[in-house]
């Protein structure tokens, strides 16, 4: 038995997510796609795939006959719009998986805390940079407490649509917060770079963590194990080179960010290649978001099935 879902947002992210549900999921069934542009490629593609559509946003979605059977709604719009969608849909008893940086619900990164909020009415998928880098911060923190975690997400400018560009401030704030709350860093900072290179380059992420001196072999093993866990749902996620370690000199200002011990800087370099279900392969930033959202909803459904079976 499948669980019916709907998607709000007929842009690149919403359309890619729709195709992932159709092609990859055994437990989810796409019931409807809602947008606000009647001429969007996403709505046109949904109609060709026999998926119910509306160009009247969330108000149009709740009017569709198909909405009555929907349990989970993915929001692939913007942080500002999500606040309204949350008010409308949670009042109607629907669960929201939020792909915007609105951060109304708890943060979820599947490889780190995927089972922590399965009963929540609204969960937040942080950001593309967060999904790519927070697992690494958490892996390092599992071995040695992270005093400071900094991530730099570099994405192709062509893969950054109007929603991403409008939410740059929310991106940095939400990711920084999740580095601390999910990754476990005492302090977190996030930077996003829109790379204008042509042809477009795939997503690259750099993670710098400041820790007390520790067994580097254990940190490397933890990072590599975590990369494998993310690859289970994002096959194009990989290390670009070996984990790097650098002792922090006595006169280096970085020492002020370490609360104790002899600080060591750990640097991890990643790339994320998209699966190209709908988006081009260079848009790994969008692919990791839709993949994480799909994995989260599937875990919610599996959890609910177990609960029903044990009642």
Residue 147 sits in the same domain as residue 228: yes
Of the candidates 269, 270, 273, 300, the one whose C-alpha atom is nearest the C-alpha of residue 288 is 273
Number of H helices, E strands in the chain: 10, 12
Residue 147 sits in the same domain as residue 270: yes
Q: Measured between alpha carbons, how far is 53 from 230 in angstroms, rounded to an integer? A: 32
* pLDDT for 167: 81
* pLDDT for 262: 83
**Would residue 128 show up in a list of annotated catalytic residues for this protein?**
yes
Residue 165 sits in the same domain as residue 227: yes
* pLDDT for 311: 72
Q: Is 201 helix (H, G, I), strand (E, B) or coil?
A: coil
Residue 119 sits in the same domain as residue 245: no
Residue 205 sits in the same domain as residue 252: yes
Residue 121 sits in the same domain as residue 134: no
* pLDDT for 163: 75
Residue 74 sits in the same domain as residue 194: no
Residue 277 sits in the same domain as residue 293: no
Instruction: Supply the CATH number for residue 245's domain.
Output: 3.30.360.10
* pLDDT for 86: 98
Residue 124 annotated as lining a ligand binding site? no
Residue 113 annotated as lining a ligand binding site? no
Residue 11 annotated as lining a ligand binding site? yes
Residue 165 annotated as lining a ligand binding site? yes
Residue 170 sits in the same domain as residue 100: no
Q: Structurally, how many domains does the chain consist of?
A: 2
Q: What is the 3 state secondary structure string of 126-157?
A: CCHHHHHHHHHHHHHHCCCCEEEEEEEEEEEH
* pLDDT for 165: 85
Residue 60 sits in the same domain as residue 153: no
What is the mean pLDDT, run by run of 10 residues, along the chain of 311 residues?
A: 96 96 98 97 98 98 98 96 97 98 96 97 97 98 96 94 82 96 97 95 97 94 98 98 94 82 93 96 96 98 89 72
Among 21, 43, 128, 182, the active-site one is 128
Confirm if 66 and 42 have CB atoms less than 8 A apart. Answer: no
Residue 71 sits in the same domain as residue 189: no
Residue 112 sits in the same domain as residue 132: no
Going 52 to 58 to 59 to 65, the CA torsion angle's sign is positive
Residue 54 annotated as lining a ligand binding site? no
Instruction: Supply the CATH number for residue 70's domain.
Output: 3.40.50.720
Domain that holds residue 20: 3-125+288-310
């Amino acid at each position: 038995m499948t669980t019916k879902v709907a998607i709000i947002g007929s842009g690149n992210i919403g359309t890619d997510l729709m195709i992932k549900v159709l092609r990859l999921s055994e437990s989810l069934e796409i019931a409807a796609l809602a947008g606000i542009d009647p001429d969007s490629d996403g709505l046109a593609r949904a109609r060709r795939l026999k998926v119910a559509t509306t160009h009247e946003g969330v108000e149009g979605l709740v009017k569709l006959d198909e909405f009555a059977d929907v349990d989970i709604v993915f929001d692939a719009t913007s942080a500002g719009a999500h606040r309204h969608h949350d008010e409308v849909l949670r009042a109607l008893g629907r669960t929201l998986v939020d792909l915007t940086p609105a951060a109304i619900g708890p943060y979820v990164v599947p490889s780190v805390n995927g089972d922590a909020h399965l009963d929540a009415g609204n969960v937040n998928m942080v950001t593309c940079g967060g999904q790519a880098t927070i697992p690494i911060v958490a892996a390092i923190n599992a071995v040695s407490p992270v005093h400071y975690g900094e991530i730099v997400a570099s994405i192709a400018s062509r893969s950054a649509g109007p929603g991403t560009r409008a939410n740059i401030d929310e991106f940095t704030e939400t990711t920084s917060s999740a580095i601390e709350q999910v990754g476990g860093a005492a302090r977190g900072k996030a930077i996003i770079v829109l790379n204008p290179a042509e042809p477009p380059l795939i997503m690259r992420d750099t993670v710098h963590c400041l820790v007390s001196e520790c067994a580097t072999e254990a940190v490397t093993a933890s990072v590599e194990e975590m990369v494998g866990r993310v690859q289970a749902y994002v096959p194009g996620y990989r290390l670009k080179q070996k984990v790097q370690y650098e002792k922090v000199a006595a006169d280096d200002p970085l020492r002020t960010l370490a609360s104790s011990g002899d600080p060591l800087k750990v640097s991890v370099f990643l790339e994320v290649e998209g699966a190209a279900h709908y988006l081009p392969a260079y848009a790994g930033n969008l692919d990791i978001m839709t993949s994480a959202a799909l994995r989260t909803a599937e875990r919610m459904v599996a959890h609910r099935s177990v609960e029903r079976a044990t009642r």
